[in-house]
Amino acid sequence: MSGTPPARLIDGAAVAAELRREVKEGVARLKADRGLVPGLAVVLVGEDPASEVYVRSKVRETGEAGMASAAVRLPATASEAEVVGEVARLSADPAVHGILVQMPLPAHIDPARVLDALAPEKDVDGLTPASAGRLFLGRPGFVPCTPLGCRILIAGIRGQSLAGLRAVVLGRSILVGRPLGALLLQSDATVTMAHSRTGDLEGLARSADILVAAVGRPGFVRGSWIKPGATVVDVGINRVPSETPGKTRLVGDVAFDEAAQVAGAITPVPKGVGPMTVACLLANTLKAAVVAGGAPVESYLPMSVRASS
């Protein structure tokens, strides 16, 4: 479809830039008030090129926010015991407030055992059982970064209270779908979790006031699936061939041109959910340092994060 879409574009890049600015200000205040510098350690096992790019980006943005950052690199041949030991060492280091284990890990390493060695108070990626339990019980803790970013973007369109709204989450992964469903429930939405074995996905999606697509299939959600005026959050990042031979482009799980003609608001891919993930990682790291220092969270953490987590 051509022409300007009627849907409002949810500019995740702009929201993320503002969040990073607020985090940087919070870090500066924490340094001035308490002499405390938040520290993030990113653990990378192996030489996966995509993971290398992600780690460099995270380390760079951590430094730009005024935090201390370190990338801990282990060879792909490292044993599970060596990785677990490194995570345990970082967990005991008082200068490290946040730890992120870059996924995926080599096949011979059990991610669950590695995460079990991570101190819950330093789990800024929100992946340990302790973090998941606190989220599902509605207690304060760390929310996984991508779901937290989605919730902040939704709040910018729908407000913090989602009472009376129906939310449908397509995808039940522990990284995105399940924790985001819990966040939306806490905001009083009526939440339906859908997946590959759900019947009549199209009809279910069309009932949603808030539709989240996190299935990892390019263009899976068509425009006919969208309820007129709905808020559509596209978490998918899929690389497909472009019109230029030999080149690729990024697309989401939603057929954007179609959906944008029906939705009230929609996140683009790229520059939608993606930029929010690292910005929320920085916010979680600041939160970890504030809590470790016994300081009041409300004095240093951005309001959008406090309200959405």
Q: What was the pLDDT predicted at 244?
A: 86
pLDDT at 2 over 90: no
Q: Is 281 exposed, middle or buried (0-12, 13-18, 19+ CB in 10 A)?
A: buried
What is the band of 308 on the pLDDT scale with cuts at 50, 70, 90? Answer: confident
pLDDT tens, residue by residue, 219-245 = 999 999 999 999 999 999 999 998 888
Of residues 124, 90, 101, 59, the one with CA closest to residue 287: 124
Q: Is 58 a catalytic residue?
A: yes
Given the residues 11, 33, 48, 102, the one annotated as active site: 102
Number of H helices, E strands in the chain: 11, 11
pTM above 0.75, yes or no: yes
Answer whether 34-119 and 144-274 agree in fold: yes
User: Residue 1 — very low, low, confident or very high, per pLDDT cuts 50/70/90?
Assistant: very low
The active-site residue, picked from 58, 122, 227, 287, is 58
Q: Residue 5 has what pLDDT?
A: 65
Backbone angles phi, psi at 258, to 5 degrees: -70, -50
Q: Known catalytic residue: 125?
A: yes
State mean pLDDT over 117-127: 97
pLDDT at residue number 53: 87
Say which residues have a Cβ less than 8 Å from residue 178's Cβ, sequence separation at least 6: 172, 193
Domain range list for the chain: 34-119, 144-274
CATH class of 34-119: alpha beta
Task: Please tell me the least confidently modeled range out of 47-51, 107-111, 253-257.
Answer: 47-51
158, HSE (Cβ side, Cα atoms, 13 Å)? 30
93 is catalytic: no
Residue pair 279/23 in contact by the 8 Å Cβ criterion: yes
> Does the pLDDT at position 293 exceed 80?
yes
CA angle 150, 288, 272 (to 5 degrees): 20
Superfamily designation of domain 144-274: NAD(P)-binding Rossmann-like Domain (3.40.50.720)
For 117, the token pair is 């060695």
Cβ atoms < 10 Å from Cβ of 298: 9
At 112 the pLDDT is 96
pLDDT in tens, 259-268: 999 999 999 9
The one catalytic residue among 122, 123, 125, 234:
125
